[in-house]
């Protein structure tokens, strides 16, 4: 076997690894348009991976959900109907962009509240340190009198010299 055949063999063996996840062998000649299917599975979150869409995930559950999405689309259901089915079954977590409603307020507004609290604590801490430094920098009357006396003695010594 020469080098060229060896490289070709390795390339053929590695080819399945280069194929994106979510491209099961579905028949897109019927009711399901491939682009519509790909758009829909890219909007849904893999429940196992959590940071990947169904289109990107290699998890077995993601595969099962892709098949389920395909089957619903093949039955003629709209994207909204497929999404509603998955949300009713798995909750809003299956959506990459969950709706704003009372049950998701913490998810949507929580980071901003935490940021505001952090900024308030930072400002309070800086002001407190500033007040402390000013207090430390101020001398009592006794300390000021002693300093004046020391500076007066120093000035007298300098004028004598």
pLDDT of residue 104: 81
Q: What confidence category does residue 161 fall into, taking pLDDT thresholds of 50, 70 and 90?
A: low
Residues 97-132 pLDDT 10s: 888 889 888 878 999 999 999 999 999 999 998 888
Buried b (16+ CB within 10 A) or exposed e, 20-57: ebbeeebeeeeebeeeebbebbebbbbbebeebbbbbb
Read off the pLDDT of each residue in 67-77 and give the average, rounded to a whole number: 91
> Residue 17: which pLDDT band, with cuts at 50, 70 and 90?
low
pLDDT of 60 higher than 70: yes
Q: What rounded mean pLDDT belongs to the chain?
A: 83
Q: What is the DSSP letter of 103?
A: G
Is-contact 82 69, C-beta < 8 A?
yes
How many Å separate Cα 120 from the centre of its chain? 23
Q: Which of 3-17, 28-42, 70-84 has the highest mean pLDDT?
A: 70-84
| pLDDT over 70, % of the chain | 83
Distances (CA, A) of 13 to 6, 17, 119, 154: 11, 8, 54, 90
Backbone angles phi, psi at 59, to 5 degrees: -65, 150
Mean pLDDT for the stretch of residues 54-77: 90
For every residue of 120-142, DSSP letters joined together read HHHHHHHHHHHHHHHHHHSPPHH
How far is Cα 57 from Cα 36, in angstroms, rounded to an integer? Answer: 18
């Amino acid at each position: 076997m020469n080098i060229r055949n060896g490289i070709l063999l390795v390339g053929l063996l590695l080819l399945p690894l280069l194929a994106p996840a979510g491209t099961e062998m579905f028949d897109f000649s019927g009711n399901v348009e491939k682009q519509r299917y790909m758009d829909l599975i890219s909007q849904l979150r893999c429940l196992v991976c959590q940071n990947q869409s169904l289109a990107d995930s290699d998890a077995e559950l993601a595969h099962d959900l892709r098949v389920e999405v395909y089957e619903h689309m093949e039955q003629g259901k709209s994207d909204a109907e497929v999404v509603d089915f998955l949300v009713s079954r798995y909750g809003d977590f299956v959506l990459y962009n969950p709706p704003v409603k009372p049950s998701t307020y913490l998810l949507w507004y929580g980071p901003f509240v935490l940021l505001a609290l952090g900024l308030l604590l930072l400002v309070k801490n800086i002001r407190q340190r500033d007040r402390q430094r000013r207090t430390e920098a101020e001398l009592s009357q006794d300390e000021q009198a002693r300093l004046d006396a020391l500076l007066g003695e120093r000035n007298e010594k300098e004028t004598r010299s």
